[in-house]
Amino acid sequence: METKGLNPRSIALRMKIHHTNLYRVAAGKRPLTSTFAVNFEHHTNISSVWLTTGEGDMIKANVEIFSDEEIRFFYKIKKDAKLYELVKLLTKVKKDSYELLKGSILKFIK
């Protein structure tokens, strides 16, 4: 499980989880969730897709890794079903409508 000079305890510390949770997931005693896999990928560069499906390359090479702030943002969206639904809808908006949509949203915030 060592990668990039990290051991399981230091990976768990970086992931902000207890090291026993990491061991339990690795041993198959706890389910591997997509959230856990993405968090693990962020700190180890081991592909969350490979972890969850077995497909693709195990090691992510030359890719931008999400910042901690971005991961917290994604967690916030995922936890709130209505916000998640809104974000999914936003992904279907055409790029030429972004500014109009942004203006409308800013009116709601003020």
Residues 58 and 96 occupy one common structural domain = no
Domain-embedded: residue 33: yes
pLDDT along the chain (110 residues), means of 10: 70 93 96 93 90 91 73 90 94 94 91
Residues 21 and 49 occupy one common structural domain = yes
pLDDT at 77: 93
pLDDT at 64: 67
Residues 56 and 93 occupy one common structural domain = no
Residues 12 and 58 occupy one common structural domain = yes
Residues 60 and 9 occupy one common structural domain = yes
pLDDT at 3: 47
pLDDT at 45: 87
Domain-embedded: residue 73: no
Domain total for the chain?
Answer: 2
**Angstrom distance (rounded) from CA 36 to CA 74:** 12
| Domain, as residue range, for 90 | 80-110
pLDDT at 40: 94
pLDDT at 38: 92
Domain-embedded: residue 4: yes
pLDDT at 71: 83
